[in-house]
Amino acid sequence: MAPTAQAGIVLAPGLIHVPGYLDQAAQARLAAELDAVLAHAPAYIPRMPRTDQPFSVRMSNCGSLGWVSDRTGYRYQAHHPETGAPWPAMPATALAAWTRLAAYPAPPEACLVNLYDAGARMGLHQDRDEDARDAPVLSLSLGATALFRYGGLKRSDPTRSVRLRAGDALVIGGPARLIHHGVDRLIPEVPDLLQGAPPAPVPAILAAGGRCNLTLRRVTRPSGA
């Protein structure tokens, strides 16, 4: 694995890109762990508050809490919105990345799993449903390359783009914790995980040219904070 986030590329104060953080073996290991997660917490299509319009990405979660969206609003809850079952445990590979990159004294409580097919995107938004906003959001990418767009604290601020490839990590914290960000589109590049014979099963969404993005978040403030 690559060095700590401090050795990554600073895209903006608090926004740190760590290209290739997960090597091919680590990507395959995380993919296998996600297969087990999705077997217990199947991906579903969330819907926008008020309008009830469907997202273009499919989602699931793991950890003690999961982020969900439906007509009533955005929130964190402890169970799958369709099955009612508790979310499964977070993958060990993702937890290890948090320990190494997040520089936060408490573990993550939620890991949102976003599954993008070729036509999916994510509009500019802020991650602001957490009480522990002093904790960063940690993003890990698998599969197809995404064109990630980021701006400022106001939606009208100028934006820039960077390509997030398979194995990349992105830390969104400090002054960048509440920046607007999103995914414009997927880029048809062959991800490292799919070159040759992978040592572990590849989730179907990746085998079909899709992308899987994990975002790890601390939701509640640690005791004494």
Q: What is the pLDDT of residue 190?
A: 53
H/E stretch holding 32 reads helix 24-40
Highest mean pLDDT among 2-16, 85-99, 181-195: 85-99
Query: CA–CA separation, 209 vs 204, rounded Å?
Result: 9
194 inside domain:
yes
Percent of the chain with pLDDT over 90: 83
The total number of structural domains that make up the chain: 1
**Taking the model in full, what pTM does it have?**
0.90
113 inside domain:
yes
Q: What is the pLDDT of residue 41?
A: 97
Is the CA virtual torsion 41, 137, 9, 187 positive or negative? positive
**CATH code of 153's domain:** 2.60.120.590
Q: Which residues of 167-204 are buried (b: 16+ CB within 10 A; e: fewer)?
A: bbbbbbbeebbebbbbbebbeeeebbbbeeebeeebbe
1 inside domain:
no
Q: What is the pLDDT of residue 17?
A: 98
Is the CA virtual torsion 101, 204, 81, 181 positive or negative? positive
48 inside domain:
yes
Q: What is the pLDDT of residue 194?
A: 46
224 inside domain:
no
20 inside domain:
yes
CB 184 within 8 A of CB 164: no
Sheet holding 58-63, edge to edge: 9-12, 15-18, 169-172, 137-143, 211-217, 110-116, 58-63
In tens, the pLDDT along 94-145 reads 999 999 999 999 999 999 999 999 889 999 999 999 999 999 999 999 999 9
What's the one-letter identity of residue 139? S
What's the one-letter identity of residue 24? Q
Percent of the chain with pLDDT over 70: 87
Residue 30 Rama label (left phi>0; alpha psi -120 to 50; beta): alpha
2 inside domain:
no
222 inside domain:
no
Residue 181 structural domain: 7-217
pLDDT at 76 over 80: yes
Q: What is the pLDDT of residue 1?
A: 38
- What is the overall mean pLDDT for the chain? 90
pLDDT at 86 over 80: yes
